[in-house]
Amino acid sequence: MSSNLPSGTVTGAKNKPLSPFKKRGSLQYAASTVEPRGARHLLTSQHSLPGIPVALKQSIDLRTSMDGKYKEIAEELFSRSLAESEMRSAPYEFPEDSPIEQLEEKRHRLERQISQDVKFEPDILLRAKQEFMKTDSATDLEYMKEQSQAPDLQEREQVPEREYQRVTISGEEKCGVPFTDLLDAAKCVVKALFIRQKYMSLSLQSFCRTTTRYLQELSERPLDLDLYEEDIPETTVTADATVHPPVSETHPYENQDPASMPPDMGYGCKMVDGVMHVYTTRNIMEKSTELDLPYPDLQEYIADMNVMMALIINGPVKSFCYRRLQYLSSKFQMHILLNEMKELAAQKKVPHRDFYNIRKVDTHIHASSCMNQKHLLRFIKRAMKKYPKEIVHVERGKGQTLMEVFESMNLTAFDLSVDTLDMHADRNTFHRFDKFNAKYNPIGESILREIFIKTDNYIKGKYFGHIIKEVMADLEESKYQNVELRLSIYGRSRDEWDKLATWAVKHQVYSNNVRWLVQVPRLFDVYHTKKQLCNFQEMLENIFMPLFEVTVNPGSHPELHLFLQHVVGFDSVDDESKPEQHIFNLDSPLPVNWTEEDNPPYSYYLYYMYANMTVLNHLRRVCGKM
């Protein structure tokens, strides 16, 4: 798997062309205490590789008024949420104009006005905007005009940085908030950032470089974050810059020859207390043969979670963050008012680039909803015309053709329309997880969802693969649009990964403009009630065991080995408005003992998914796949 796909199961050759998909960590997890008085606080793990940056030492005092009370605050917050859970209700209808839509409309209106008013023709721009820009606009435009006519490319590369108007705020700070509250809130935010950095570092995920630079000023030694990030040199854009990256001539799913796959490492894998352990041999899985792969300590993770929950409900922290975000938003709006025209002029000076031909990535799009309604409607009508006699479904042991399925619903191709599909997620689905899920069913019929937008059905996801490839073809034609599509792994059976990979390889569902992200719905209680799972550890094994097996021996799952090269990470999804009946603490049962009817809490899911993902990333690094 490619090296720019960190969060989960992705690695690859380092000499591949740079991808527009940035490294990311999809699992959102809580994090850790920072000892007072600058003490060294280790992120302990059961095993540690030499050189792994699992510790951070601060040179500043981050003690706050909440120190020593995190556990009590977290328990109080949980008990309060249980008491209020029965009073929670979500409105069924929303106003016609939601705040998000108003902001989007305002932004689009501003962009349309700019596109109509501004065309980079120096003489016209000079006459039309001279009064607006006032300060040295004529000089700037004349300079740009001379530079554009200069024959020497080397001189063009040495254009000095453009001077923008700046806004400074001076005088004694009088914000109406006690200084002690501001200081306490700032320390809490810094503490949370150190926690986040610690967990990102342990799982070999990238961390924001700007935040790293500021955190380094607060620590006694440099943070070891760049060790796991791609070394991407910052190059200037020139007139002869490559517009289209090179594309491989061979299809990545064609090479399934076992001889060409990496060799079997001979390691053994076994899940112990919900976390996968890797051993140097498959025959003797003992402590003496265990590989030294780190993962977060459960006790410290729970302490970190208590810290984060306490910070969430801290009044000064909430006020500080709100005021800071408002200030930054206003500062940016002021920058736009002062320097909008200069920025537009500078953008138009960049060769081969404008808004339409810069590379864009759409995220958080499920593959089942990546097409628009009109596209899906055209595909369904085309399938009814081309494959009316194809058996697509089995009802009570009897096969049904596509025509018979629609006849059972008293529908014909003529009756279908965008309105009858009813798959548009409008504003009434906001905060309504039940209504949102219903939008995945064409015409409100789950049987059509199974036939057209499922990978595991009677026709092995044939129609779904075809329509996804049509969406990919549209993306490739536009050249600059990329998407991160989501596919679901439920953890009900061990062969889910193989079925998904076989679907992708068989139908050659691949595009250089697309990467996959695997989401895991938190539905253990549903599967346990249906007797599909005995305990929570069985679900974890179904999710992670195939990934460890294919990492150790790619030949054991050849299709999965090829498919994982284009997977970028994991996510955990469900209706987050549902109340939780349990709090995750040291008294919580281990996954092998979680046999209750209730669903484990969100933090329980995330710890065991994060811990296994961390071990997997380190294993893939040891095996040279990352």
- Are 9 and 620 in contact by the 8 Å Cβ rule? The answer is yes
pLDDT of res. 179: 80
- Are 10 and 565 in contact by the 8 Å Cβ rule? The answer is yes
pLDDT of res. 146: 57
Task: With a cut of 60, say whether residue 20 has pLDDT above it.
Answer: no
pLDDT of res. 433: 67
* Closest-CA residue to 476 (of 239, 238, 245): 245
Q: Which residue has the higher pLDDT, 247 or 570?
A: 570
| Structural domains of the chain ordered from first start | 372-459 (4.10.800.20)
pLDDT of res. 150: 52
pLDDT of res. 580: 85
pLDDT of res. 401: 92
pLDDT of res. 116: 59
pLDDT of res. 105: 74
pLDDT of res. 137: 43
Give 439's pLDDT tier (boundaries 50, 70, 90): low
Work out the mean pLDDT of the chain and round it to a whole number: 77
Strand partners, 570: 518
Give the number of C-alpha atoms closer than 13 A to the C-alpha of residue 217, restricted to the C-beta side. Answer: 6
For 289-299, write each residue's pLDDT tens digit. 899 999 999 99
pLDDT of res. 58: 52
- For 553-560, what is the mean pLDDT? 92
pLDDT of res. 320: 87
Identify residue 198 by its one-letter amino acid code.
K
How far apart, in whole angstroms, are the C-alpha atoms of residue 519 and residue 488?
5
pLDDT of res. 315: 87
DSSP 577: T
Q: Which residues are CB-neighbours of 47 under 8 A, at least 6 positions away?
A: 290, 291, 292, 293, 294, 295
pLDDT of res. 477: 92
For 351-361, write each residue's pLDDT tens digit. 877 778 888 99
Task: With a cut of 50, say whether residue 121 has pLDDT above it.
Answer: no
By percentage, how much of the chain surpasses pLDDT 90? Answer: 39
Task: With a cut of 60, say whether residue 192 has pLDDT above it.
Answer: yes
pLDDT of res. 30: 37
- Left (φ > 0), alpha (ψ -120 to 50) or beta: where does 349 sit? alpha
How far apart, in whole angstroms, are the C-alpha atoms of residue 501 and residue 283?
29
How far apart, in whole angstroms, are the C-alpha atoms of residue 80 and residue 579?
11
* Closest-CA residue to 184 (of 271, 285, 64): 64
pLDDT of res. 12: 40
b or e along 90-104 (b: 16 or more beta carbons within 10 Å of the residue's beta carbon)? Answer: eeeeeeeeeeeeeee
Q: Which residue has the higher pLDDT, 503 or 168?
A: 503
pLDDT of res. 617: 95
pTM above 0.95, yes or no: no
For 252-300, write each residue's pLDDT tens digit. 887 777 677 888 899 999 999 999 999 999 888 888 889 999 999 999 9
Kindly state the tokens that stand for 319: 């006020």
- For 515-537, what is the mean pLDDT? 95
DSSP 532: S
| Distances in whole angstroms, Cα of residue 164 to Cα of each of 20, 161, 341, 364 | 29, 9, 10, 35
